Structure formats: structure tokens, C-alpha cells
């Protein structure tokens, strides 16, 4: 019986799963379905031939992000993440609904969340600044950076230290550019899993984990909404709006939907100005977007 070794999943490759062991990358297969293993997973594996391995088991996860897959099921996308940094910029057009969605997922999965405004070298807009005030008031950390001009990077780097972080956000906001700016000497040969789009851009196709020079790991993820409202119920979505949390328990009815319900403390807080109206309106929109089976 081959020796059981412990490794770290750093990416999904077309032909298998890249597992890091002892500073080497081993291409692994698994008897389970490949997509049940996620980047960030700690696995036990055995050597099947030189440089090739087989994943025998996934070790217990401390957090897990999932995305919807076919027939109402979910599949894991990243495991053992401590903080998700939601990246956005003046262009492509800033999608606050998507930001709220990421934040709501984090709130429900016990993952910390922070915001990164990239491309601060470009002219900024008042609209973004106005929305940002809400997030800052809610206690979310905000890092203003430019990957191009290397602005604000020291502060961001110290926030990334000694934990597992993931960059999330729509395509083109600069997640990979930030990863490159943070880890300029990363091993591109083993770690680049990108493809050139028809616009000539390198778009990330698989989430990939990199080690930071100062300690900690960083996962660059593809811009498609790789995790959605998967697994959240309507109630959990409301909980995902952290400013609703102190009021939810005070609603008159346990199953309050915070819409037009009698005795709704969330609505009362909205009237009193304790909850931002734009955030509440986005809650309503996300609620509409939820897979109906969950509502
Ligand atoms: N002006 C400016 N442009 C930037 C900055 N960072 C990245 N970009 C540009 O934005 C575009 C997208 O950057 P990427 O790093 O590929 O974006 P991404 O978020 O990784 O995109 P996906 O992999 O498709 O999800 C590229 O053309 C970058 O050169 C920045 O700080 N300022
Ligand atoms: Mg990318
Ligand atoms: Zn209510």
C-alpha cells in the first residue's frame, strides 16, 4: 500500500488536479468526480507513478464556497478561505448587486469580506463614492489601489498576510493584475491557467492558489460569478445584509420576509434611516434573482 501524503490543491487543470507537496506540483487524478475537489482543499494522496498521484481523501474543510451546477445541485469552487476580497473598479461598470451578493455569501459562510477598489489611476465617479460610504459604515474594509501604478499595495499586502484570501469580482476588474503586482516573482509556468479571449485579453479560467512571500495564500479566481446565491434561502439572504441582523430577531413574525410584513423591524429601521435604502432595494432585487426552489 502506497504511503498517504498530505498536499494542497492549487488548481484544476484540464487533465487533472494540481496538488502541491513539498514545493512540487503533482498532477493528481481521483476516483471521485474531479469537480468534487476544490482549490484550497487539503487532500491525502498517494504516488501512482513518478510525478503523478491519486487523491484518496479530502481533509475536513473550515469553509467552503459553492456554485450552482446542473439539476439544482451545487459544486465546490474553493475551500478553506478566510477572507474574500471583492474587487471592482470604475470600469467595467461597477455592479453593486454583485458586490452585495458576494458579501451576503461571505456573511453566511463564516468568511470575512473586504473590498478592493482597483484602477484608482483612472478618473473616479461620485456614484461609486456614495455607495462606498454605505459599505464603510457597515464596517467593511476598503482598499483603494491601482495594480498599474502600484498604489495602495503595501496596505493591501499587509491585509493579506497569514491567511487564505480569494480575489473575486467580475471579469476585467483586475484580479490577475493585482495578483501579479502582489507576487511578481510567482512561478508562471506552473501556475498560469489562463486563456486569451477574442478581445486579446487574458481571462482566468480556473481558480489558482499562490503563496505570498510574507506568509499566507492568495487565490485568483475567474471573473464569472463563480459562486452565487447557491444554497442560500430567502431568510439567509436577509441575514447576508449584515445591517439587517440586529433587527431580524425583532420582527413580529418568525417567518417575516421583510417585504410588507406587519411588525417588521427591518422595515422600521429602513424608515428610521438605520438601513440604507439602496442596500434594501438591492436586497429586493437579489431576492427576485434567487432560484425559485429556494424561496
Ligand atoms: N487603468 C488600469 N487598468 C488596469 C488596472 N489593473 C488592471 N487593469 C486592466 O484591466 C484589464 C483586466 O485585467 P485582468 O487583471 O485580466 O482582470 P481580471 O479581473 O483578472 O479578469 P478575469 O480573469 O477575466 O476575471 C486589463 O486590460 C488590465 O490591464 C489598473 O490598476 N488600472
Ligand atoms: Mg483574471
Ligand atoms: Zn421583518
DSSP 79-102: ES-SEEEEEE-SSS---HHHHHHH
**Same domain? 152 vs 113:** yes
Last residue of a domain, one of 220, 247, 270: 220
Is 168 close to ligand 1, i.e. is its CB under 6 Å away?
A: no
Confirm whether 184 is domain-assigned.
yes
pLDDT tens, residue by residue, 99-150: 999 999 999 998 999 999 999 999 999 999 999 999 999 999 999 999 999 9
92-101, 129-138, 176-185: which range is least confident on average?
Answer: 176-185
Confirm whether 70 is domain-assigned.
no
pLDDT at 67: 80
Asked whether the beta carbons of 37 and 58 are under 8 A apart, the reply is yes
CATH of the domain at 246: 1.10.40.50
Residue 34 pLDDT grade (very low, low, confident, very high; cuts 50, 70, 90): low
Q: What is the 3-state secondary structure (H, E, C) of 206-273?
A: CCEEEECCCCCEEEECCCCCCCCCCCCCHHHHHHHCHHHHHHHCCCCCCCCCCCCCCCCHHHHHHHCC
The ligand minimizing its distance to the Cα of 150 is 1
Identify which of 84, 124, 171, 177 to mutate to test ligand 1's pocket (most ligand atoms within 8 A of the CB): 177
Domain ranges, residue 281 = 234-294
Top pLDDT among 184 and 284 is at: 284
In the predicted model, what is the mean pLDDT of residues 141-161? 97
CATH of the domain at 50: 2.40.50.140
In the predicted model, what is the mean pLDDT of residues 26-45? 88
Q: Could you list which residues have their CB under 5 Å from ion ligand 2?
A: 175-176, 204
Q: How far is CA 14 from CA 17, 167, 193, in A?
A: 8, 22, 9
DSSP state of 123: P
Residue 188 pLDDT grade (very low, low, confident, very high; cuts 50, 70, 90): very low
Specify the pTM.
0.92
Residue 191 in this model has a pLDDT that exceeds 90: no
What percent of the chain stands above pLDDT 70?
89
Q: Could you list which residues have their CB under 5 Å from ion ligand 3?
A: 251, 256, 258, 264, 266
Q: Quote the ligand 1 centre to 194 CA distance (angstroms).
A: 13
Amino acid at each position: 500500500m502506497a504511503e498517504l501524503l498530505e498536499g494542497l490543491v492549487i488548481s484544476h487543470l484540464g487533465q487533472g488536479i494540481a496538488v502541491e507537496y513539498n514545493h512540487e506540483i503533482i498532477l493528481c487524478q481521483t476516483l471521485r468526480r474531479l469537480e468534487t475537489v476544490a482549490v484550497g482543499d487539503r487532500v491525502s494522496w498517494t504516488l501512482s507513478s513518478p510525478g503523478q498521484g491519486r487523491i484518496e481523501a479530502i481533509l475536513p474543510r473550515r469553509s467552503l464556497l459553492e456554485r450552482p451546477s446542473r439539476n439544482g445541485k451545487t459544486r465546490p469552487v474553493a475551500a478553506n478561505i478566510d477572507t474574500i476580497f471583492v474587487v471592482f473598479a470604475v470600469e467595467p461598470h461597477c455592479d453593486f448587486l454583485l458586490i452585495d451578493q458576494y458579501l451576503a455569501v461571505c456573511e453566511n459562510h463564516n468568511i470575512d469580506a473586504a473590498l478592493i477598489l482597483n484602477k484608482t489611476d483612472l478618473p473616479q465617479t461620485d456614484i461609486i463614492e456614495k455607495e462606498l460610504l454605505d459599505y464603510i459604515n457597515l464596517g467593511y474594509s476598503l482598499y483603494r489601489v491601482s495594480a498599474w501604478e502600484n498604489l495602495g499595495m503595501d496596505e493591501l499586502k499587509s491585509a493579506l498576510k497569514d491567511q487564505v484570501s480569494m480575489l473575486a469580482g467580475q471579469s476585467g476588474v483586475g484580479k490577475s493584475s493585482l495578483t501579479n503586482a502582489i507576487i511578481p516573482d510567482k512561478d508562471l509556468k506552473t501556475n498560469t491557467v489562463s486563456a486569451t479571449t477574442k478581445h486579446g485579453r487574458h481571462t482566468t479560467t480556473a481558480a489558482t492558489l499562490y503563496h505570498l512571500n510574507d506568509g499566507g495564500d492568495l487565490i485568483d479566481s475567474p471573473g464569472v460569478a463563480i459562486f452565487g446565491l447557491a444554497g442560500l434561502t430567502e431568510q439567509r439572504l436577509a441575514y447576508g445584509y449584515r445591517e439587517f441582523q440586529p433587527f431580524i430577531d425583532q420582527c413580529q413574525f418568525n417567518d417575516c420576509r421583510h417585504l410588507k410584513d406587519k411588525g417588521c423591524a427591518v422595515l422600521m429601521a429602513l424608515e428610521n434611516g438605520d438601513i440604507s435604502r439602496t442596500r434594501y432595494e438591492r436586497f429586493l432585487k437579489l431576492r427576485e434573482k434567487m432560484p425559485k426552489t429556494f424561496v
